[in-house]
Amino acid sequence: MAQWSKLLERIDDYRWRLPRSYKKGMRTDGMIFADEQLMEIINQENAVEQVANVAFLPGIVGNSLAMPDIHWGYGFPVGGVAATDAEEGVISPGGIGFDINCGVRLLRTDLTRDDVSGKIDKLIYALFNHVPCGKGKEGFIKLDKNKDLARVLQKGARWAVEKGYGWKEDLEHTESEGCMKEADPEAVSGQAKHRGSDQLGTLGSGNHFLEIQVVQEIYDEEAAAAFGVEKGQIVIMIHTGSRGLGHQVATDYLRSMETARKKYGIELPDRQLACAPVKSQEGMDYFGAMAASANFAWANRQIIAHRVREVFEQIFGKSAESMGMNLIYDVAHNIAKFEDYIIEGKKKKLCIHRKGATRSFGPGSAELPEAQRNVGQAVIIPGDMGRYSYLLKGSQSAQDASFSSTCHGAGRVMSRGEVIRKLKGRDVAEELSERGIFVRGASRQGLAEEAPEAYKDVAAVVNTAHGSGLALRVARMKPLGVMKG
């Protein structure tokens, strides 16, 4: 049994404290959001050790936080959240991750399950042909890496809409309106730009997906109505990020941050947490490059959403507008944002690291679309491709509990190598077909790596988020058709 497991203090049904006395040098406590069932799973790996390591970051404010879907990651655990003082603290690429602004976008429709009956396979095949997927796959948009790409990195989803890939209303329903204004294209390396120049409008591989889902259950009628969701309705979920560009940015700055860490005399228990002061040149360069990568991801998801609408128009012979294919919301994972919070009675600007975590703003936030301001932000939590996903709403209580953050998905329980070994000889697509879910992937191995048993049951993760007030249940969706990278 790990030493930390003996020191964990259970606060209530959904919170566990790891006291700073666990390791000399921890500047604050760790706080893990999990019910008893999830804690048993978390105890089987060492992600809690990473929660303790994050507590060493200079300028950390509040606790080192772990969301209910926590699992081992690079530097921070996946599901890790930490706030640092924007003036005196640090920024760490390990607290954002390699797939910068990997995020989820949810489109509603006026279609019902009956409308798509007998058409799911056609839709998935058409989507597969219309949205390139798989490792290193190129898109249909070719960008000049010096001129066109710089505009994408600067403007994000707005660039895509201006080019005709989507609707102006989409921007209003995207976190930060699909653009971080702090983006600095000059801080992005030539290699990163080269990797991204032909990848706009592509899904990628790994856990990225495109799903056609049916709304199975409504838990909150008021919020569901505000989001435009009702039982029996067809929705489409898109999960992808900044592709090779964001990965290269993370790789580039992890190297420079290790040099910066030594330069500024920062001592840490794990070199994967390499960081620099937020206000240093190294810190500002990384933030500018990260913001540019986030903008690339928003443009990418915007273009994919446009292509999805085109496929539905082709299959149903109707316009996307007449089918009510509006964007409910687009949320970012793997990102750092400057946000204001009241700390010890004073307003303070913080750098919020969310890695494998998503924003969860409660009612009243001026950043939300008008339709969501009275109920809270739409929070999208994908599960695995064999069970279900959830739509939640942001909670006011999350502001104090987690710097307005919540979980981002189910969270893995098996590595890709482990699940491949366990599923040897099994056909995941065939098994899912027998359960009424049509699946097409870029490769058989890719599907096996993403088999449902590789993930926690997302219902347990969502129950903890709901019970602890990090985000509140609105609706549950079941996959009907899945396209995997």
Choose among 89, 92, 69: nearest CA to 79.
69
For residue 89, give the amino acid letter: G
Alpha helices (H) along 197-280:
221-227, 243-263
Under a CB-based contact definition with an 8 Å cutoff, are residues 357 and 403 in contact?
A: no
Residue 365, token pair as written in the block? 């936030």
Choose among 452, 441, 438, 382: nearest CA to 137.
441
- Token pair 């290790």 is found at 258
Element (H, E) at 3: helix 3-7
Catalytic residues: 408
Judged on CB neighbours under 10 Å (0-12, 13-18, 19+), 377 is buried
Under a CB-based contact definition with an 8 Å cutoff, are residues 225 and 247 in contact?
A: no
Helices and strands, counts by H and E, the chain: 17, 19
Half-sphere exposure of 262 (CA within 13 A, CB side): 6
Phi, psi for residue 421 in degrees, rounded to 5: -65, -40
Residues 6+ apart with CB under 8 A from 260: 274, 275, 276, 280, 282, 283
Choose among 76, 204, 90: nearest CA to 139.
204
- Token pair 């794990």 is found at 270
Q: How many CB atoms neighbour CB 324 within 10 A? A: 13
- Token pair 């790994």 is found at 206
Q: How many CB atoms neighbour CB 349 within 10 A? A: 13
Residues 6+ apart with CB under 8 A from 388: 216, 458, 459, 476, 477, 478, 479
The Cα–Cα gap between 89 and 263 comes to 15
